[in-house]
């Protein structure tokens, strides 16, 4: 009878330990689910940031192109037309100057060319595309792509926008949340073993208890490892 009583007492202790472990596993599971939820929320934030940065970057690109074509390329076109007139007037002045009585006409033409040159100098001064020789191709046309790169570089904040980085961060956070959700399954398996330890008798319950503890330790280690190592 005494032995029976001792066995009951040992059984009660196992039940107590198992109950405490079940509570611990339940709380840990809830904590892991909470952490996964927080990470998922952060991932959503990074995603939003990425979308916003995509909008900003694409808008900046469109604005840069609008500025290039509507301002600088327009001025460059004026410059080209002025230069064509100046060259034409100079050539004609030369032709007239070669004639015996064409000096007066040549002077008028040169005078008009000089006036146009002044106007052109104003155009050149107000357009880096025209003024800077870096933007000239070998055939004397304008390299709009190089100028576009320089315009983009003039606003370093917008040029530095990298939505891909935001999306990569969102993916990392999502992956981490997903792996944590996977550890919840391990916790559930541990809970299964602990429940079996709670409801069974004799030695088998000890086996279930040990298995439950081992799985719980594995789940906790996995969750902690993910938290510490997965950045």
Instruction: Give one DSSP letter per residue of the chain, joined into a string.
Output: -HHHHHHHHHHHHHHHHHHHHHHHHHHHHHHHHHHHHHHHHHHHHHHHHHHHHHHHHHHHHHHHHHHIIIIIHHHHHHHHHHHHHHHHHHHHHHHHHHSTT-HHHHHHHHHHHHHHHHHHHHHHHT-HHHH-GGGB-TTS-B-HHHHHHHHHHTSHHHHT--HHHHHHHHHHHHHHHHHHHHHHHHHHHHHHHHHHHHH--HHHHHHHHHHHHHHHHHHHHHHHHHHHH--
Interface with another protein includes 135 (CB under 8 A)?
no
Determine the interface stretch with another protein among 117-125, 138-146, 151-159, 213-221 (rule: CB under 8 A): 138-146
Interface with another protein includes 230 (CB under 8 A)?
no
User: x/- binding map, residues 149-188, to another protein, per CB under 8 A?
Assistant: --------------x---x--xx--x--xx--xx-xx--x
Task: Determine which residue in the list 77, 149, 206, 221 makes contact with another protein, applying CB under 8 A.
Answer: 77
Task: Give the shortest CB-148-to-another protein separation in angstroms.
Answer: 10
Interface with another protein includes 55 (CB under 8 A)?
yes
Interface with another protein includes 15 (CB under 8 A)?
yes
Determine the interface stretch with another protein among 62-70, 118-126, 150-158, 213-221 (rule: CB under 8 A): 62-70
# residues near another protein by CB under 8 A: 60
Task: Give the shortest CB-179-to-another protein separation in angstroms.
Answer: 10
Interface with another protein includes 34 (CB under 8 A)?
no
Task: Give the shortest CB-91-to-another protein separation in angstroms.
Answer: 9
| Contact partners, residue 195, CB within 8 Å, separation at least 6 | 22
C-alpha 215: how far from its chain's center?
A: 39
Interface with another protein includes 73 (CB under 8 A)?
yes
Interface with another protein includes 49 (CB under 8 A)?
no
Contact (Cβ atoms closer than 8 angstroms) between residue 93 and residue 73: no
Interface with another protein includes 192 (CB under 8 A)?
yes
Taking the C-alpha atoms of residue 137 and residue 155, their distance in angstroms, rounded to an integer, is 25
For 140: left if phi > 0, alpha if psi spans -120 to 50, otherwise beta; the answer is left
| Footprint of another protein (CB under 8 A) | 8-9, 12-13, 15-16, 19, 36, 40, 44, 47, 50-51, 54-55, 58-59, 61-62, 65-66, 69-70, 73, 76-77, 80-81, 83-85, 87-89, 92, 139-142, 163, 167, 170-171, 174, 177-178, 181-182, 184-185, 188-189, 191-192, 195-196, 198-201
């Amino acid at each position: 009878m005494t032995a029976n009583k001792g066995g009951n007492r040992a059984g009660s202790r196992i039940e107590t330990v198992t109950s405490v472990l079940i509570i611990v596993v339940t709380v840990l599971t809830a904590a892991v689910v909470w952490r996964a939820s927080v990470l998922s929320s952060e991932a959503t934030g990074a995603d939003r940031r990425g979308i916003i940065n995509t909008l900003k970057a694409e808008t900046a690109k469109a604005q840069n192109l609008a500025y290039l074509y509507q301002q600088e390329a327009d001025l460059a076109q004026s410059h080209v037309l002025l230069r064509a007139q100046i060259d034409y007037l100079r050539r004609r002045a030369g032709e007239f100057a070669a004639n015996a009585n064409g000096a007066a006409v040549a002077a008028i033409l040169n005078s008009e060319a000089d006036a146009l040159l002044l106007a052109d100098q104003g155009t050149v001064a107000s357009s880096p595309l025209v003024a800077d020789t870096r933007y000239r191709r070998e055939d004397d046309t304008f390299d709009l792509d190089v100028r576009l790169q320089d315009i983009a570089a003039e606003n370093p904040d917008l040029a530095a926008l990298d939505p891909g980085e935001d999306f990569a961060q969102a993916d990392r956070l999502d992956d981490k949340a997903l792996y944590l959700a996977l550890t919840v399954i391990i916790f559930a398996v541990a809970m299964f073993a602990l429940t079996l330890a709670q409801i069974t008798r004799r030695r088998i319950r000890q086996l279930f208890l040990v298995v439950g503890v081992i799985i719980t330790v594995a789940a906790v280690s996995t969750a902690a490892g993910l938290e510490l190592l997965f950045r």
